[in-house]
Amino acid sequence: MWLGVWLAALLWAIASYDDGDSPYTVDEWRQYVASSPPAPPRHPSNATSDDFVVASGDGDISNGDAKWFDETQGHFDHRWYRYTPKYHTSQNTLWRLATAWLEYADQHKLDTWLAHGTLLGWYWNRLPLPWDNDLDVQITATSFEKLEAANGTFFEWRHHQYYLDVNPHWRWRQGTKNNTIDARFIDTSTGMYVDITVLSLANDVPAIDFGESAEFDLVVDPQLRDKSATMIKGDVWRQRRDQLRGQLVHCKDNHYYAIEDILPLVPTQLCGAVAWVPQRYRQILEREYPRGVRDTVYGGHTFHRQLRLWVKSRLCGSPGKCHNREILQVAEVAKNYTSLPLP
């Protein structure tokens, strides 16, 4: 009997917590948008190729075989995880987390920009992708040293608290599967986080041969897809690769970029907050997500162009025929963000 009562109380508490503590209702978002007009960045981004050089320091430069970050349920920090939020709560938390990180970065004059799935979400409608459980950003080595100095500190923003956790193995740039993430900015109310990865100068031309990585093939030759196979010779491609010596940067998860893909950074907004993206964001996205910039149906979601939102396919009819009141309300509130043009 008591077990049944305890279980019922626990389930009620979980359900009540998720509903009552949802970061923003539609009305709260409307007020939030109205009270937060777009603002220009506090400082221009003056990053140069020198900022990708990892300076020697006192941190742990071992190869970091022992995993530093510990996740639970796939995408939550175990120290602050309490429950898996419902769909709408997860989206609202990502919006809040994005604005908190971008405010932190702007206050501390960090050269950081949107990356991976977060960059893809921004490309579609200046919001995170609704099926994502975390956010991805990249940062220069010089700016990351500011984060290292602030390791273990908390950041208060709009009645919520965030924790900065820096991987002590970040200076070891070879990368292991256990430590590809260099830092995390963690929402202490949910355990959701921003993955932060350093882009550092590749000390030598990567020993990646033609055909081994489609993404790297296109870093070396962005026009590769437009050429027939008979026109592409391995030795010509390798010569181009070798000419990029000193002009490539990479993260520990083996994503490579030409410095001119990234710099100069371009100012924009994500969730209405000041953000930066690489200057060649379209080329970067096409390399990493060949279909991601074109397909309007993915993971049970459909992109409705008239709403400028990714919507669960089962909740709305075909594009142009959505009559779900809640989704229409969200679209109305979010249009302050989603209507912004690409730079």
> What is the pLDDT at residue 214?
85
> What is the pLDDT at residue 300?
92
Per-residue pLDDT tens for 263-303?
A: 999 999 999 899 999 999 999 999 999 999 999 999 999 99
- Across the beta sheet with 301-304, the strand order is 297-298, 301-304, 309-312
Looking at 223-280, list the stretches that DSSP marks H as alpha helix, in order from N- to C-terminal side: 234-243, 259-262
> What is the pLDDT at residue 209?
86
Cα separation, 198 vs 112, whole angstroms = 9
User: What percentage of the chain carries pLDDT values higher than 70?
Assistant: 81
> Does the predicted model carry a pTM greater than 0.85?
yes
- Span 9-29, mean pLDDT? 39
Tokens of 140: 């220069």
Higher pLDDT pick, 91 / 170: 170
The pLDDT confidence band at residue 137, using thresholds 50, 70 and 90, is: very high
Task: Report which listed range, 20-29, 114-123, 245-254, 319-328, is most confident.
Answer: 114-123
> What is the pLDDT at residue 112?
98
Looking at 43-130, list the stretches that DSSP marks H as alpha helix, in order from N- to C-terminal side: 87-107, 116-125
Answer yes or no: is pLDDT of 1 > 70: no
Higher pLDDT pick, 49 / 34: 49
Per-residue pLDDT tens for 203-243?
A: 766 778 888 888 888 899 887 776 655 445 677 888 888 88
Indicate the CATH number of 41-57+66-205+245-298 among 1.10.3470, 1.20.1070, 3.10.20, 3.30.460: 3.30.460
> What is the pLDDT at residue 17?
35
The pLDDT confidence band at residue 152, using thresholds 50, 70 and 90, is: very high
Q: Is the dihedral of CA 159, 194, 102, 53 positive or negative?
A: positive
Tokens of 74: 């796939």
Strands (E), the chain: 71-72, 76-77, 112-114, 135-140, 154-157, 160-166, 183-187, 193-201, 248-250, 256-258, 266-270, 273-277, 297-298, 301-304, 309-312
The pLDDT confidence band at residue 318, using thresholds 50, 70 and 90, is: confident
- Span 128-136, mean pLDDT? 94
The pLDDT confidence band at residue 7, using thresholds 50, 70 and 90, is: very low
Closest CA to 127 of 272, 9, 327: 272
Per-residue pLDDT tens for 91-112?
A: 888 999 999 999 999 999 999 9
Cα separation, 165 vs 185, whole angstroms = 7
Give me the residue spans of the domains in the chain. Answer: 41-57+66-205+245-298
Angle at 68 between CA 101 and CA 99, to 5 degrees: 5
Cα separation, 93 vs 84, whole angstroms = 12
Per-residue pLDDT tens for 60-95?
A: 555 556 788 888 877 899 999 988 888 778 888 899
- Span 31-44, mean pLDDT? 60
- Span 324-336, mean pLDDT? 85
Higher pLDDT pick, 255 / 56: 255
- Span 13-31, mean pLDDT? 43
Mean of pLDDT over the chain:
83
User: Cβ of 143: how many Cβ atoms within 10 Å?
Assistant: 19
Answer yes or no: is pLDDT of 19 > 80: no
> What is the pLDDT at residue 44?
77
> What is the pLDDT at residue 31?
52
Per-residue pLDDT tens for 178-188?
A: 889 999 999 99
